[in-house]
Amino acid sequence: MLSSFKRVLIGRPLKSTALGEQKLGILKALAILSSDALSSVAYGTEQILIVLATISVVAFWYSVPIAIGVLFLLAALILSYRQIIFSYPHGGGAYVVSKENIGEKAGLIAGGSLLVDYILTVAVSVTAGTDAITSAFPTLHAHSVSIACVLVILITILNLRGLTESASILAYPVYLFVIALFLLIGVGIFRILTGNISPVAPHAPIGAPVQGITLFLLLRAFASGCSALTGVEAISNAIPTFKDPAPKNAAKTLVLMGSLLALLFSGITFLAYYYGIAPKADETVVSQIARETFGRNYLYFFVQGTTALILVLAANTGYSAFPLLSFALAKDKYMPRMFTIRGDRLGYSNGIVSLGVASIILIIASGGQTEHLIPLYAVGVFIPFTLSQTGMIIKWLREKPAGYVAKLSANLIGALITLTVLIIFFVTKLSQVWFVFIFLPLIVIMFRRIHSHYDAVGEQLRIYPDDVAAQVQGNVIIVPVAGITKVVENSINYAKSLTDQIFAVYVSFDREDEKRFEEKWEKWQPDVRLVTLHSHYRSILHPLSKFIDTVEHKASENNYRVTVLIPQFITKKSWHNILHNQSSFLIRAYLIFKKKVIVATLPYHFKK
């Protein structure tokens, strides 16, 4: 039943040979990997205005020069990440660049930051999408957390179905969103030029003096506006998902994404400034612009609907990049090996499910408030930005390839800008991002502990030519018995086929019962030694464990191995299993961790 339900949700398993069919072309890759960056247009301008609103509406004109600064940073990042794509065509992005050129710690910091960032990508995208939905339908505000959690579950299921299938579905809302915003910006500018629209509030001319404005506040607004750049690095992490030639297709997708992001962000920021839009708690800036441009007609709902869709589905950038980064870290033994395993649909399903669960926990913990997550989200992006640019600088200085001066200059500019933005974040938003200094070291420590564990396990499992293994002289089998039944008979007969060193162990709680059982056993199996253990405190495990320790100690002196053979019957109907086998499960769970003891289960299948 569970298998059938799984097939309905994610589809039939794909053959390993179908992996090539799961690669993405430029148009589908733009939809699945750029949706996070493009969707940030919906809240990037708003984050700038929220900071400027603390002074006065007159300060809103600063949104224009701040947006120009954000676009300059975007250009530097696109140029820099394009170089990373061609230098590291196997993907891994900031993690691989930092690890190979700066060192292990830098790589782990970049990798840990990106993992957290992708969790935040899902949480922020879905909560922002929920905000767009509740802006159009205010009665749903009270249910925003529940709506967000349901949306995460749906996106998780969609990604478990496979890369190409999710990309095919995502392509439509992403391109509809691009069309909707170009329509909004085009109509808005046209109506401004023709004088057919009146601003919501008079906007201050650019350069107008503003009382109370400070450099600290402007830097804080700029840092908030840089949230529009989240998701830029995702393409460099996911190069293996592109069709051949993967690096060229990835680079083209990156440039296309950067161009669209620049145009949309510029247009929304200009319209917000001209209209005199002020941020509201119950309505987004994009919603206000659309309402003033179109009124609350079908075009308004088209903009809101596509905005909500892309904000929700922008989470797919995280679902595309998180599993690949987890794979890279797991391959280097910094994360559990389970993240290297492909699922039924050839995606790294363990990474997909882990991302979905972590995002839901974060949404619930934050109460579905997007503004509480964005500062940490942006910091998680700019740490890898800075480390990757620095890593590329070291690479060019070390290798000095042809034309390296131009490449070095591009990465140097990118490193200086991203470092500056990162410092601004820590200075202006320390109260919101201080716990980065706690969780990042903890993540790095976790990575190192996992790596040390795998190294220790590998050392113990490695076979050396000079090793001389101890020869096992024989086997002693201990069979815990609860009565005289066919299940026990099956186990005893199997043990006899392997050795004559057999102990049947019966744990009794009552002396009379113990005596009766010994008499029955003597008549039934006189050639198999029965050991009866009396338990004063009605525990099976304690006396059984002590007996096994005694036997194991004596057996090891003679190079004998001890096997505990646990009888277990299997019912025909799966739900019947909850009515039986509690003792066998308990004994097996306890003994499985005992050193030098082999634990085996012998099933006996019921016919009815």
Residue 16: pLDDT band (50, 70, 90) is low
Calpha distance 444→323 (Å, rounded): 18
DSSP 3-state assignment of 419?
helix
Q: Both tokens of residue 374? A: 């964005």
Q: Does some domain include residue 601?
A: yes
Calpha distance 478→557 (Å, rounded): 17
**Per-residue pLDDT at 478:** 93
pLDDT tens column, 279-305: 887 788 888 888 888 888 889 889 888
Q: Does some domain include residue 14?
A: no
Residues 309 and 448 in one domain: yes
Pairing of strands 474-480, 502-508: parallel
Whether the CA torsion 352, 354, 360, 366 is positive or negative: it is negative
Q: Is the pLDDT of residue 509 over 90?
A: no
Instruction: Tell me which of 117-121, 126-130, 441-445, 543-547 is least confident.
Output: 126-130
Using H for helix, E for strand and C for coil, what is the string for 43-102? Answer: HHHHHHHHHHCCCCHHHHHHHHHHHHHHHHHHHHHHHHHHHHHHHCCCCCHHHHHHHHHC
Q: Is the pLDDT of residue 82 over 90?
A: no
Non-local (6+) Cβ contacts of 150 within 8 A are none
**Per-residue pLDDT at 470:** 57
Residue entry with tokens 């799984």: 6
Q: Is the pLDDT of residue 112 over 80?
A: yes
Whether the CA torsion 28, 41, 254, 227 is positive or negative: it is negative
Residue entry with tokens 């339900």: 5
Non-local (6+) Cβ contacts of 571 within 8 A are 577, 579, 580, 606
> How many domains is the chain partitioned into structurally?
2
Q: Does some domain include residue 460?
A: no
Residues 440 and 533 in one domain: no
Per the CB < 8 A criterion, the answer to whether 100 and 107 are in contact is yes
Domain range spanning residue 506? 474-605
DSSP 3-state assignment of 535?
coil
Residues 82 and 190 in one domain: yes
The residue from 393, 419, 454 where one domain ends is: 454
Region 447-476 average pLDDT: 79
**Per-residue pLDDT at 355:** 93
Residues 411 and 483 in one domain: no
Q: Is the pLDDT of residue 237 over 80?
A: no
Per the CB < 8 A criterion, the answer to whether 373 and 124 are in contact is yes
**Per-residue pLDDT at 19:** 55
Q: What is the mean pLDDT of the chain?
A: 83
Residues 395 and 526 in one domain: no
**Per-residue pLDDT at 462:** 78
* Higher-pLDDT residue of 289, 581: 289
Instruction: Tell me which of 103-112, 338-347, 501-510, 599-608 is least confident.
Output: 338-347
Q: Is the pLDDT of residue 432 over 60?
A: yes
Q: Where are the alpha helices (DSSP H) in 226-245?
A: 234-237
Contacts 24+ apart (CB under 8 A), 519-527: 520/484, 521/484, 524/484, 525/492
Residues 321 and 421 in one domain: yes
Q: Is the pLDDT of residue 446 over 90?
A: yes
Q: Is the pLDDT of residue 17 over 60?
A: no
Residues 87 and 197 in one domain: yes
Calpha distance 61→213 (Å, rounded): 12
Q: Is the pLDDT of residue 1 over 70?
A: no
Q: Does some domain include residue 9?
A: no
What CATH number does residue 584 fall under? 3.40.50.620
Of 83, 102, 163, the closest CA to residue 403 belongs to 83
Q: Does some domain include residue 461?
A: no
Residue 277: pLDDT band (50, 70, 90) is confident
DSSP bridge pairs for 560: 474
**Per-residue pLDDT at 267:** 92
Calpha distance 561→120 (Å, rounded): 51
Of 4, 116, 24, the closest CA to residue 347 belongs to 24
pLDDT tens column, 367-424: 877 566 666 766 777 888 889 889 989 998 998 888 888 888 888 888 888 888 888 8
What CATH number does residue 365 fall under? 1.20.1740.10
Residue 143: pLDDT band (50, 70, 90) is confident
Q: What percent of the chain has pLDDT over 90?
A: 17
**Per-residue pLDDT at 260:** 92
Dihedral pair phi/psi, residue 573, rounded to 5°: -100, 130
Residue 495: pLDDT band (50, 70, 90) is very high
**Per-residue pLDDT at 529:** 92
pTM: 0.75
Calpha distance 237→32 (Å, rounded): 13
DSSP 3-state assignment of 195?
coil
Dihedral pair phi/psi, residue 530, rounded to 5°: -105, 130
Instruction: Tell me which of 44-53, 135-144, 491-500 is least confident.
Output: 135-144
Residues 438 and 512 in one domain: no
Residues 504 and 418 in one domain: no
Dihedral pair phi/psi, residue 505, rounded to 5°: -115, 125
Distances (CA, A) of 489 to 11, 479, 538, 567: 44, 11, 25, 9
Where are any strands of DSSP class E within 80-223?
none
Q: What is the DSSP letter of 444?
A: H
Calpha distance 275→198 (Å, rounded): 7
Instruction: Tell me which of 151-155, 200-204, 267-271, 435-439 is least confident.
Output: 200-204
Residues 202 and 323 in one domain: yes
